[in-house]
Amino acid sequence: MAQCAATVPEGTQLTIIKPDDFHHHFRDGAKTKSVLSHATKRFKRAIAMPNLKPPVTNTELATEYYKHITENTPADASFQPLMTLYLTDNTTPEEIHKAKQTGYIYAAKYYPAGATTNSDFGVTDVKKCYPALQAMEECSMVLCIHSEVSRSEIDIFDRESVFIQEVITPLLRDFTKLKIVMEHISTKGAVEFVSNGPDNLAASITCHHLLYNRNALLVGGVKPHFYCLPILKRETHRVALIEAATSGSPKFFAGTDSAPHTTESKESACGCAGVYTAHAAVELYAEAFERMGKLENLEAFMSINGAKHYGLPITEEKVTLTKKSWDVPKTYEFGGETVTPLRAGFTVAWTLE
């Protein structure tokens, strides 16, 4: 079981390679600039999720989105967006090769149809994607997967384990050289599956899945700002995740799944799924590693493991974290509206200098 280590003294500093985020939602329109103001301070590179309206299903749309992100990046930020295609039943091998040739499209995202926000255009049957996946294997494009089935008869707490059985296991058998990332894993079973899997399989883990279990969402009333997909699980799963993340294993790395929605849309009769962490993600990961007494492994998890899996060079830029608490605002500006961040109104123990 995970143990709570003694905390490090106030004022302790930790300098690491500037992290990468291998799962980020930048949104579109005026909201993108608000997100980038937080993300670019903390990350050198980030995989940009393609589940917009309409989704980023081809190279032309990905190019437009790439330009939108770069045009809204703060002038003083040295930041690189890593673009993705939204995989559908009809994605062609020709489109995959065309995307790869751009030099800025690094992955394709597999959303099971209906599994999460704006996923209605997603994959209905993995076999329909096999021609596209073969092309991805040929040109070394990474497959990012939202690893949950979406069938209504499957309990929401079991959807990851069923997906592993029904989709990931056959994929690994049929595509031995395709680099696969199970994104935002949330269960002990997923940790064990990735740990025991082949070298072409890795996983990203969010800071909120490391720090919270389902009590945060459900005890004392439903807390909509903790509602995400995959949903927070019981404590045994959180423990397995934090042990994996802090273990030093190269198979696990940071993917925040920072997913901003307006405060109004979260606090509604049908609140949408997503937790906003771009404002403090690196600091929150540091909290998780400190709790385990494994701060020495933070840099590999944040800045090295993911880059190696994606075949990217390790950046030379550095950032420094200081053990100094700060108060998180109750809301941030979000393209003319507001977004409620994780820890709104409470403190974060580390500060990014």
Distance CA 291, CA 287 (A): 6
Give the 3-state secondary structure of residue 174. Answer: helix
Measure CA 134 to chain center: 24
Distance CA 340, CA 189 (A): 31
Distance CA 312, CA 322 (A): 28
- Contact present, 301 and 254 (Cβ < 8 Å): yes
Distance CA 4, CA 12 (A): 18
Distance CA 340, CA 335 (A): 13
Q: Is 257 a catalytic residue?
A: yes
Buried b / exposed e across 106-137, counting CB within 10 Å, b at 16+?
bbbbbbbeebbbbbebbbeebeebeebbebbb
Distance CA 141, CA 108 (A): 7
Which entry of 21, 158, 257, 327 is annotated as an active-site residue? 257
Active site residues: 257
